[in-house]
Structure 1
Amino acid sequence: MATVRRRTLKALAGLIVFIFFTSFVLNYSHIAVTTTWSPKQMVIELSENFKKLMTYSHRPCTCAHCLSQRGVSPWFDERFNWSMQPLLTAQNAVLEDDTYSWWLRLQREKRPSDLNDTVKMLFQVVPGHVDPLLEKKPWGCRRCAVVGNSGNLRESSYGSQIDNHDFVLRMNKAPTAGFEVDVGSKTTHHLLYPESFRELAENVSMVLVPFKTLDLEWVVSATTTGTISHTYVPVPAKIKVKKDRILIYHPAFIKYVFDSWLQGHGRYPSTGILSVIFSLHICDEVDLYGFGADSKGNWHHYWENNPSAGAFRKTGVHDGDFESVVTATLASINKIRIFKGR
């Protein structure tokens, strides 16, 4: 024990000497030209540098502003659960009873298969560990763009700006081909469910958002036998996504978004808000594009002309208005930025 203490004291003393010497060299070279060096000034500089070092060591990233920084907003701190894991793995696949019961009710599956058996089959096919790229590092600054599907992206010219992010998250059937100037061409992670599936480029990771047990079974089938071709609508029997590029959104994380962030509004969260809260847990800075209505108040997709645009807001499944309040509040406390387009 005494040896450990002596080593700790030596390390601390060495750190202080290093800071003092660095401060001396930098400050003396700056002020010697104009004034005489002052020991008092050096002590003040040493104190300030030490404070900066201690502050930096407790920051969750190296960005100018880290969105997961505690103590900035009580509203955010009440909702953001640092321990929640966004992705399902072989190590965290056991659901609490209340979470499992809630999840089963989302799409009212009548005779669901046993979840444990399904998960075992799932992780025999796809990786049962978290994608290392998604693990946040305290010395990094991961900038992420979450690209929604709103018509306000038309004529926005956000493409190059979006592609300049480290991660670009898209969702559901959103295309990029033909819309690159406004929506960009880069995608690192694409969130979807069986009924909203679209083929992805080889370098894109698919993040399945499971709303029912059948969705997990579909992943197994679609990458092997191709026996499942219908859920409540026709779905692709086979997909070309590489198995090691398939990630699974955690059902418990869906409930966390519903309980903590949506406060029970709607029946369950939309893929849009699920993507936003997902990004808060894997990114250091988050920019939102393609969310909300266009400048004329229409809610529609940028790739289609929909005469009944906006009808989905009142389906009773998702509460689009409350989800907009959540994202607007996040922007108002500088946790995210929202680019509203046209």
Structure 2
Amino acid sequence: MSKAGWAYGIVLVGLLVTSVIALMFGVTFYTPIQLWHALVGTNPDVLNNVLTFRLPRLVASLIGGGVLAVAGALSQSVFRNRLADPTILGVTSAGDLFILLGSFLLPGLPFEKLILALLGGVLALALLTNRHTLSQPYMLIIVGVALNLTFQGFTTLFTKGIDVNSDTSLNGITWDSTLTLLIVGGFGLILALVLAPWANNLKVADAQLTAAGMPVKVLRVGLLALVVFLSATVTSALGTIPFVGIIVPNIARKLVGHDYQTLIPFSMLSGAWLLLLGDTIGRLIILPSELPVATLMTVIGGPFLILLVFKGGLGRGTETR
């Protein structure tokens, strides 16, 4: 079996095992036999608890993780920078800020959070993308981090010093939010699979693409729009969960290569597993309380980003080709 085949096999087994553990463990432990009895209808109390609390959380983790990983991979393609990710470039924090302001100004708007997160993401990218940042990887990251901190600062200011992002958790997520995330996020993931060849095209220099008759701006703007859509989908449902979009695609390139038609589906599965694993560990590590998955991902992702910077530097070796 090839290296990629082994990688896919490990991820699929990991998804299956972690999903079973996520359904079994919690404040109340359920054995596999109890879960089976619940499934066949002979233990309605366990079935009700699993369907009401644990299953929507599991599904939200899977979809959210897959969406975040794909958004990161596409960001790195557009910016030709393996450090690019919506969470450190200010896209998701801008979405959080707009959601907060919208709750004051436009309460009750249909799909309010998704629309506001989209608007915030568009603003962040409009401020971030210009010919200087696109041509200089180090400047892109510096400006992106500055925007991210600025949006987070405004969010903290409007919440009177309470850091709302630090408590990002999947605890208490409902089926309404999960189904919205499943439908909208699933649509975005399908688009990502269809547009994966666009990401491959952007590996080539703009001048060469133009000479070959490729619409470079259409490719880049189209993928950026998809990145904002994917990011806003997760932000509106789960809040900001950092570093998934950096960790997963960079490891995926080592395992399955740089072809985005392979990288996107593998990142989708790996991101789903990573977020589910992180949420499951966060639920169990300090029972009966829990550690928010955003906090856990920050603890993991921060050192990973530092290692990535030390290995490649900010001004060289950051391209994804």
* Band of TM-score, shorter chain: under 0.3
Larger Rg: 1 or 2? 1
- Greater fraction helix: 2
- Greater fraction strand: 1
Higher RCO, Cα 8 Å, sep 6+: 2
Question: TM-score under structure 1 normalisation?
Answer: 0.25
